[in-house]
Amino acid sequence: MLLGVIADDFTGASDIANTLAKGGMATVQFVGVPGKSAPADCEAGVVALKTRSIAASDAVAQSLAALEWLKAQGCRQFLFKYCSTFDSTPEGNIGPVAEALLAALDAPSAVVCPVFPTTGRTLYMGHLFVNGRLLSESGMEKHPLNPMTDPDIGRWLARQTRVGVGLVSYPTVRAGAEAIRAGLDRETAAGRRLIVADAIVDEDLFSLGEALDGAVLITGGSGIALGLPRNFERQGLLGGAAAKVPAVTGPGCALSGSCSTATQAQVAAYAAGHPTLTILPGDLVEGRMSVAEALGFVETNLADLPMVTSTAAPETVSAAQDQYGREMVAGAIETFFGELAAGLVAKGVRRLAVGGGETSGAVITALHLDTLRIGGEIDPGVPALVSDGDPMLGLALKSGNFGATDFFEKALRAMETP
Ligand SMILES: Nc1ncnc2c1ncn2[C@@H]1O[C@H](COP(=O)(O)OP(=O)(O)O)[C@@H](O)[C@H]1O
Ligand SMILES: O=C(O)[C@@H](O)C(=O)COP(=O)(O)O
């Protein structure tokens, strides 16, 4: 294995696995830190963790365990993948994990670049924009778990870490790989070891990728991986094996726990054509809704690709959080979706399209899957996945903010014809 990725959530893991596979690397997504060696032909390994919204110390411990495993697989470069909207709180977990990885690898510095132009994430003078709006005015300021209220990524990151935070700004990035390398060296020499890098278009990310050839540690969204396969290719290290995934047929179901603006529209579009059960957090907490009841609903409607969703508008989310507490609500919903997914597979469901990073994490964890193979791209940043093992499952793990309005429909169909 050449490149080892540590991803802080499951949708993010499939997002970067998709980028690397499209870039020509034989890529495998691992669910958690594997207990065995990677397949011999794996060139990029993505370890999917669920560390974005847990205690920083736990996130650090899990990330270091993933690093150890990736090191043992022979990786020569490591990438810490977080969200393109820099999802984190003033306590972490991006800063603490990046700091721990720097120390463990004895790396002089690491770039920090959440940019993903295809989905509208750009960074200018250290300020993150989402579809042309500052992060803090993009809807992310209302995220249920990590409201993003500051678009200045360096300032936000500095609250999370003791390491100095630097910047390689846009004029330098535009000047190309050599200028970027010099900029990174300058910041490193000045003791700023986590270095935010501006980027606006894919070309900037290719320049950054070239500049990062040989860097032991990189941090960023999936966009920062765009230019990396070329570095390995230039050195003749890639086998050129782009594995095809098998088709998965059989009953399908959509599950959605994301409350993002994009998911709200996708759920409304899907619900217009498919039987849909809407879950209210209060009903879960107070026992008025159960996994058994939801399973019954899906079974009755199995022929019509039903949906079970807790997706709700920000006012409804806040009201539930005020009444029951943020963690209680998130825990109840995630446990529900995990148990539901396990029940669905036991009842013969073979295709699952899941909306939301934490929600996907809960589902994949409950299904006890080991490895996921990367299929075709459904929408930017979201590949179709096929799980190894018996039964083989078709999956799509959609980041809250990704996907076109018809995402769920397309995702379930894509698994049948990869
Ligand atoms: N109706 C709801 N009210 C409150 N919280 C909710 C509701 N539905 C889902 N949630 C919680 O919101 C969080 C959504 O996060 P996630 O699944 O990562 O979506 P995204 O990818 O949009 O961030 C989850 O923790 C989920 O349990
Ligand atoms: O970088 C991204 O935006 C995604 O890959 C990602 O991490 C998604 O996270 P969620 O929005 O929580 O699904």
Cα–Cα distance, 166 to 348 (Å, whole number) = 52
With a 6 Å cutoff on the Cβ, whether 53 touches ligand 1 is no
Say which ligand is closest to the CA of 258. 1
pLDDT attached to residue 115: 98
Other residues' Cβ atoms within 10 Å of the Cβ of residue 150: 19
Atom number of ligand 1 nearest to Cα 332: 27
**Could you tell me the pLDDT band of residue 343, with boundaries at 50, 70 and 90?**
very high
Output the six-digit token pair for 322: 């005020």
Residue nearest to ligand 1 atom 22, measured at CA: 400
Considering the domain 3-234, what is its CATH architecture?
3-Layer(aba) Sandwich (3.40)
Confidence of residue 58 (pLDDT cuts 50, 70, 90): very high
Ligand 1 within 6 A of CB of 338:
no
Beta-carbon count within 10 A of 79 CB:
28
The 10s digit of each residue's pLDDT in 227-238 is 999 999 999 999
Domain ranges of the chain: 3-234, 252-414
**What pLDDT was estimated at residue 375?**
92
Which atom of ligand 2 is closest in space to residue 15's alpha carbon?
Answer: 5
In this prediction, residue 24 carries a pLDDT of 93
Query: Any idea which ligand is nearest the CA of 84?
Result: 2
- Ligand 2 atom nearest to CA at 399: 13
Quick count: other Cβ atoms within 10 Å of Cβ 284?
23
ipTM, 2 decimals? 0.96
Cβ(259) to ligand 1 under 6 A?
yes
At 17-51, the pLDDT tens digits run 999 999 999 999 999 999 999 999 999 999 999 99
Section 348-360 average pLDDT: 96
C-alpha Rg value of the chain to the nearest Å: 20
Cα–Cα distance for residue pair 32/35, rounded to 1 Å: 9
Provide mean pLDDT across the span 247-267.
Answer: 96
Please tell me the pTM assigned to this model.
0.93
> pLDDT digits over 114-127, tens only?
999 999 999 999 99
CATH of domain 252-414: 3.40.980.20
